[in-house]
């Protein structure tokens, strides 16, 4: 079985951030947490870029800190090649 790079990145998330992947992280725009993670894994390394790709944080911005935290965890220097 191929190793899944996405799974490796997910393993780097603190357990609390791994919960509810299939639930809306951005409830304003109904964006699933996993979709936001996918956008970050695919290169969206700023809140603005995540917003462009997924519309998350484009409501009243209430999920911005959570998106920022995911970016920090997934784009931490030790996880970058």
Closer to ligand FES by Cβ: residue 5 or 62? 62
Q: Closer to ligand FES at the Cβ: 31 or 73?
A: 31
Q: Does 28 bind ligand FES (CB under 6 A)?
A: yes
Torsion of CA 62, 64, 70, 71, to 10 degrees: 170
Choosing from 17, 26, 40, 73, the residue that interacts with ligand FES (CB under 6 A) is 26
Tally the residues of the chain.
81
Count other Cβ atoms within 10 Å, centred on residue 60. Answer: 8
Q: Binding to ligand FES by residue 61, rule CB under 6 A?
A: yes
């Amino acid at each position: 079985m191929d190793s899944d790079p996405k799974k490796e990145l997910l393993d780097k998330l603190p357990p609390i951030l791994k919960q509810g992947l299939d639930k809306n992280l951005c409830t304003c725009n109904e964006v699933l947490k996993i979709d936001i993670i996918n956008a970050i894994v695919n290169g969206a390394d700023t809140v603005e870029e995540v917003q462009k790709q997924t519309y998350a944080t484009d409501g009243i911005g209430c999920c911005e800190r959570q998106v920022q935290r995911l970016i920090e965890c997934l784009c931490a220097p030790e996880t970058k090649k």
